[in-house]
Amino acid sequence: MCVCVLVVQELEGLLECSRIAHKLLSEYMCLNEFDAMFREANHNVSAPYGRITLHVFWELNYDFLPNYCYNAATSRSAVITSGGGGQR
């Protein structure tokens, strides 16, 4: 499994932990809705694209695409190794 997919899964887990923590804290404190706070933190309130979107775009263009090659036969992305004799 690609490391990038694991990072996305980790992000989803952290977001779920944040949702649970928000739910538990909201029993004792007056808090805004989690989704409203998330949108504000992600900068979606005043921009059509958020910080998370920009970060994913950056990682795809400068880390994933230059360093990985999709293999349709195995349906996996493989790391490109230098010195393999092929052209990049």
Residue 66 lies in a domain: yes
pTM score: 0.50
Higher-pLDDT residue of 34 and 56 is 34
Write down the mean pLDDT value for the chain.
79
CA distance 66 to 80: 8
Residue 87 lies in a domain: no
Number of structural domains in the chain: 1
Q: Per-residue DSSP letters for 45-59?
A: TTSSS-HHHHHHHHH
* Span 16-33, pLDDT tens digits: 999 999 999 999 989 899
Q: What domain range is 41 assigned to? A: 3-79
Greatest pairwise CA separation for the chain in angstroms: 63
| Residue 73 backbone phi and psi in degrees, to 5 | -70, -40
- Whether residue 84 lies inside any domain: the answer is no
